[in-house]
Structures are given as C-alpha cells and as structure tokens.
Structure 1
Amino acid sequence: MEGQAGMALTDFVLDEWRRNVPTPVLAAARAIAARYGDSVLGVLFYGSCLRTGEIDDRILDFYVIVDDYGHAYDKQWLVIANALLPPNVFYHELHVEDPEKPGGVTVRSKYAVLTLEAFERRVRPSCLNVSLWARFCQPCQLLLARDQDMRRRMAAAVGRAAMTMLQSVIDLLPPFVTPRLLWETAFSRTYGAELRSERGNKGAEIFALDRKRYEDMTPLVLGALGQADILGAGSAVSSQPPRGPYYRASLLWVLRTLDGKIVSLLRLIKASMTFDGGIDYLAWKIHRHSGVEITITDAMRRRPVLSGLRMFLSLRKKGAFK
C-alpha cells in the first residue's frame, strides 16, 4: 500500500488508535504479552467489547503479534500447530482490583498468536481465508507496540485488511455504490463464509454501530484501491454489475466459503486442545449468539475433540451454525 492514498488510510488507522483504553483491558494485554516475552511486537484488541465498550461479564479478544513462533513458545508442538493451522488460540483470566467493586473483578480474555509476517500475508486479497481481513477491517486498537515503526507497519496492515474487504465485493455490485451497500454486502459475505452462530443480520448491525467510521473510511479505502470514482447514490445504484467480473467474483466467494467452513471446523477442534475450558467457552458463545442451550458434561470435558465434533454435528442440525 503505497502513495498518498495509502498513507492517508494508514494515518486514519493510527488516529483511531489514539483512543483511551480501559484499565482492565490494558492490564489483561500486559499479562498476556508477558507470557511471550520479547517475541511480542504488539497486541491488537478487537471484537465486540471494543465495538460496544462493554467489558463487564464479557470475554475480551486479542491478537498477540510475535516475531517468530520458535521465539514465542517453549513447546515445539505449539510452534508446529501455529504454523500449520494459524492461529493458536488460548484463554486467560486476570484478577484486577477495582475501587468501585469490593474484591475486584476477573477479566477474561481469548487471544490468538500470529507472526507479523503471517498477519500481513493473511490480510491480502491472495489469502482465500476471510477470517483475518474480515475482523481487522473493523475497529481495533494496537496496544504495547514495540516501537513507532512497528506501530505504523501494523496500521498499514490493518488498512490493507479494509482494502481486501471492499475489493472482494466491488465486482458483485453496481458500478456506483454507497458505503452502506459496500460494507453490508462485505460483512454478509464474510459471515457466510465461516461457521458463525450469530444472526444473519449481524453485518448490518456492525455497520450501523460505527456508521460514521465506515462512511469516513470508505473514500480512503477506495482511493487506495484506485476506485474512488465508484461512490455514488440515487438511481445509479440500481444498475447492474458487469457480468464477467461478477462471475469471477462470485466464484471466488464459493471458494472462500468452502475454505472458511473447513478451516473454521479444524480451528474449533484445535482450540479444544490449546484453549483451557474451550468447550465451555464455545457452549457459552453459541448460546449467547444463537439462543441454543448446551449442557457440558464432565465426560465431554475429558474428550474435548470427540465431544466437540459431536456437538458441532448436533448443533448444525439445530441451526446454531450457518
């Protein structure tokens, strides 16, 4: 991402990162980063807690960006697992003193580990899997960056995620579009390309929650893509997209969806081995987003991989996953 348009998008991300961070969030990020020592290049805070500002009785989401898996882990199997099927996902709890709450609070976090090289590669259009660029086109916050050069490099990668997100749907849409049409189409496609327990209108909710942010960001993203002239309104939005590019883009989404469903299932299985209490977390998350109640037994906790597969097949029939 080069040129003035790309720099403007990077600056937009850097400006977003100047927001204040709640003390419990920063405390959790520091405690998690301490597990990986000087391999840490930065910690990205993202997800629903960041979007809504609600952290009580929630699970925070982080990505720990490291320089090398061998440097980050002291167990070789974790190095191999992270390289073969990134990222590795872990659970963390931290007790934090709170003057307003006697006895303090427990801050719960889910975090993933990824190298910077893998992060930069997986936010590009060449990456078939949508999970990283679909998440980091949304608001995020870089914490504990190693230095200012690293901060700018990671901001450029986050800007690239937004570019990949919109580029993936431009050819599916009419020649002139609105920010809302772009983002809601993109979110609908990416949510459909993974195993998700959220409602079908989640993409529209995400856009509505940060509408001004996406409207301000869209011209910068399209400018960096060299397609700033497609923004329009009114009757132009009702015209049809060109057929050739439309069919190519549609085929890519078939491949992304196939990849996303398979990789999501494999990641769920792997997370049951790295994520302490992982099967309980999955049950909680599925119930929270879909309303499907799941009872986890001790036998299921003893055999999380087999139980996770059985649970997935059962819940698939109930419509908990889409």
Structure 2
Amino acid sequence: DIYDGLLDLYLICDSYRAAYRSPLLAGANWLLPPNVFYAELSLEGRTLRSKVTVISLRDFRRGCSSAWFESYIWGRFAQPTHILHSRDPGTREAVENCLLEAARTLLQNGLPALPDQGLVTDLWQQALALSYSTELRTERSGRAAELAQSARDFYATLTRLHAPSLGSGFKVYDSGAELHYSKATGRARSLAANGAWWLRRAQGKLLSVLRLVKALFTFEGGLDYIAWKLER
C-alpha cells in the first residue's frame, strides 16, 4: 500500500546551482548533501507522502563508492531501485553504474565484519543490517531479513557479478537450492572493519541530526517532515 509509509524519491541533478533558484538551497545542498524535501498529495481522501531527496550526479557517484565513508548513499542504493525517468540513455547508464558500485561498496565494507562462510541471503541480511544501524531511526527488527529474502535473486546476481573483485578469497557456489559464499578474513582486518562500522554508526547519527536541522531552514514543510520522521 503506497499510502502506508513514505515514498522514497531521489532527484539527481547536474549541479545544485542548476537545480535551485535559491542560493541558500544550493549552498546547503553542496555543504551537506543531500537536501531532503517532504511532499504530500491528497487523493480520494487519503494522503500520499513522499520524501524527495536532491543530490548532484557528482555527489551521487561519490556517495555510491568508497569515496564516502558514510553509508548514507551506498547503503541505500545497494537495495533494489527503480529509475522512474531519465533525460537520456547516457544519464541512465551513469546512474545504473552508480547502483552497481553501491552494491559493491556495501559488500566491500560489510564482508570483513561478517562470518567467513554462509548463505548469500544471510550475507546480505547482515550487510544491510549494518547499514541500517547507522541511521538515526533504525529500521524495525527483521526488515533486513525481509529484504534479503524478497530480493534473493537480485542479490544472488549482484554477488556473482562482484565476486571476482572482492578479494579475501571470496567465492560463491551453489549447494542444494541455496547460493553460499566463503572467504578468508584475518583477525586484524575483521577488527578494523567492526571498528569502522562503529564509527559509521556515530557519524551517521550525527549527520542525520544535522540534516534534520538543516531541513528546518532550507524548505517549506520542514517541520512536517521532521514530525513525520520522528513519529515513525
């Protein structure tokens, strides 16, 4: 039910100056990307709510890669995503490449903190849970498992695609009806990875608060968005 929740929409622009008439909005988006807008539409007595996030293609490309320590972008876009509109084939291809890189970045950062072998669905469940844990309002318990199971074919394809580039002897193989993985991560690297995720949790919550505060000053409806965010 699209009315039960918040539609998560992203608008990827060439530049922040081109996206806004207001220098304040453009500057805020550049200083602490992205800007988040809250929008409502009443249809047949029901309210359709959406979160519209604005980010430049440059920042989106960086945010989907290891150039961003924070998992804000690559953690989100390692999940199934639909491109609703693209102005031309070249732009669509650029965004699709970013989506592939986001999945690879989550695997690259998540794998050293995860068990050395197991089911690929469990791998993604745990990797997604790590990303969710960095948010101000963490996803409800079981959300990562639901997503990993419902999109198991999607994640199996991504895992096979990225396996050769992940290092640590990472391999995927079929066993029965399930896709499994194995790897070899040293203790020092595992400890470093877990430490990095601890820092991401601290960083993610701090930046989430700063983005919410920024929303108060950058757009009409900011209080409505914050109230909705905290209510959920």
Q: What TM-score do you get using the length of structure 2 for normalisation?
A: 0.85
**How many residues are matched?**
228
Determine which structure has the larger helix proportion and give its number: 1
Q: Do the aligned residues in 2 keep the contact of 1:197 with 1:286 (CA within 8 Å)?
A: no
Distance 1:266 1:226 in 2: 36
Distance 2:181 2:104 in 1: 21
> Does 2:136 correspond to 1:195?
yes
1:81 aligns with: 28
- After superposition, where does 1:65-214 map in structure 2 within 5 Å? 65-94=12-41, 107-214=48-155
Distance 2:197 2:5 in 1: 32
Output the amino acid matched with 2:171.
I
SS in 2 for 1:160: helix
The structure 1 residue matched to 2:213, chosen from 240, 260, 269, is: 269
Q: CA deviation at 1:166?
A: 0.8
Deviations 1:16-59 (A, max 9, x none): xxxxxxxxxxxxxxxxxxxxxxxxxxxxxxxxxxxxxx313543
Q: Which residues of structure 2 form unaligned runs of 5+?
A: none
1:59 aligns with: 6
Q: Do the aligned residues in 1 keep the contact of 2:39 with 2:49 (CA within 8 Å)?
A: yes
Label 1:71 to 1:237 Cα distance change in 2 as closer, same or farther (>3 A).
Answer: closer
116-125 or 105-114, which deviates more: 105-114
Label 1:280 to 1:252 Cα distance change in 2 as closer, same or farther (>3 A).
Answer: same
Q: CA deviation at 1:173?
A: 2.9
Q: CA deviation at 1:158?
A: 0.5
240-249 or 160-169, which deviates more: 240-249
RMSD: 2.7
SS in 2 for 1:78: helix
SS in 2 for 1:141: coil
Q: Do the aligned residues in 1 keep the contact of 2:171 with 2:183 (CA within 8 Å)?
A: no
The structure 1 residue matched to 2:222, chosen from 275, 278, 295, is: 278
Output the amino acid matched with 2:33.
P
266-275 or 238-247, which deviates more: 238-247
Distance 1:170 1:62 in 2: 28
Larger Rg: 1
237-246 or 212-221, which deviates more: 237-246
Q: Do the aligned residues in 1 keep the contact of 2:168 with 2:185 (CA within 8 Å)?
A: no
Distance 2:41 2:73 in 1: 26
Output the amino acid matched with 1:231.
V
Q: Do the aligned residues in 1 keep the contact of 2:116 with 2:182 (CA within 8 Å)?
A: no
